[in-house]
Amino acid sequence: MKHFPAALILAILVSACGGPGSRSLTSPSTPAATHVVSGVIAEMTPAGLVPVEGVRVEEATSRQAATTDRTGFFSMSGVPAVHALFSARKDGYQIVTKDVQINGDTRLDMEIVRLVSYTLSGVAFEVTATGQSPLEGVEVYCDGCGSPVGHTFAYTNEDGFYSFSWAFNGATPLLVTKAGYDVLNTVGTFPGQVVATVNGDTRFDLKLVRR
């Protein structure tokens, strides 16, 4: 058997493994270009367009997002060159979306529209020997009204009166409770659940009876 010098074997191994001075045939990938998208979010009022603060603007592909300042201005970086879908949302306003082809830094202005809401109110009462008597301290819960985000409790005052702002047209379930009383005309599976049909500013009274 022929024996090769150790130095020759070492040189062959170093060459095969990419020794000193060897170069990779693979070039490092170039990062994808990204761009800045900025603009102003406003709403139309009788006085003209007015900037809206606190609007969250988000791009669907990159999930980049920004929130408008008091001048309605937003700016987001890192948006890739894509056919992008932007959304603008704020409680109390309709969600607005817009398709934009991003080829470079882009100006994006959008107009949002305030949701039209109404007042839902009424009186909680019981019928006694002397007639209709208002009930104070009745708890009324509305999941879909009261403030832009809903999930609101109201409690009747000494005149039995309750009120919710930010109510919207249509069937509006309410949960009504007061210790020692049952609610008449309940519907659904939850104790004390009644349904008010809101059509503009709406009056909906609540009749309770002692247990």
pLDDT (tens digit per residue) in 128-138: 999 999 999 99
pTM across the whole model: 0.65
Average pLDDT (27-54) is 88
**pLDDT number for residue 20:** 52
Instruction: Name the least confident of 45-59, 115-129, 138-152, 195-209.
Output: 138-152
Q: In the predicted model, what is the mean pLDDT of residues 171-196? A: 93
pLDDT given for residue 150 in this prediction: 87
- pLDDT of 32: 73
Would the CATH topology of 34-111 be identical to that of 118-210? yes
The domain ranges of the chain are: 34-111, 118-210
Length of the chain: 211
Of 172, 183, 186, 187, which is closest to residue 142 (Cα–Cα)? Answer: 172
Bridge pairing between strands 73-80 and 65-67:
unpaired
Which one of 2.60.40.2230, 2.60.40.4130, 2.70.98.10, 1.20.1250.20 gives the CATH number of domain 34-111? 2.60.40.4130
pLDDT bracket for residue 189 (50, 70, 90):
confident
Looking at the chain, the whole-number percentage of residues with pLDDT higher than 90 is 72
| Higher-confidence position of 189 and 191 | 191
Residue 33 pLDDT level (bands cut at 50, 70, 90): confident
Over residues 155-167, the mean pLDDT reads 96
* Owner of token pair 């309605």: 72
For 118-210, give the CATH class: mainly beta
Band of residue 210 on the pLDDT scale cut at 50, 70, 90? very high
198, 167 contact by CB (below 8 A): yes
Report pLDDT for 4: 53
d(CA 45, CA 78): 33
Largest CA-CA distance found in the chain, in angstroms, rounded:
124
Instruction: Specify whether the CB–CB gap between 171 and 195 falls below 8 A.
Output: yes
pLDDT of 163: 97
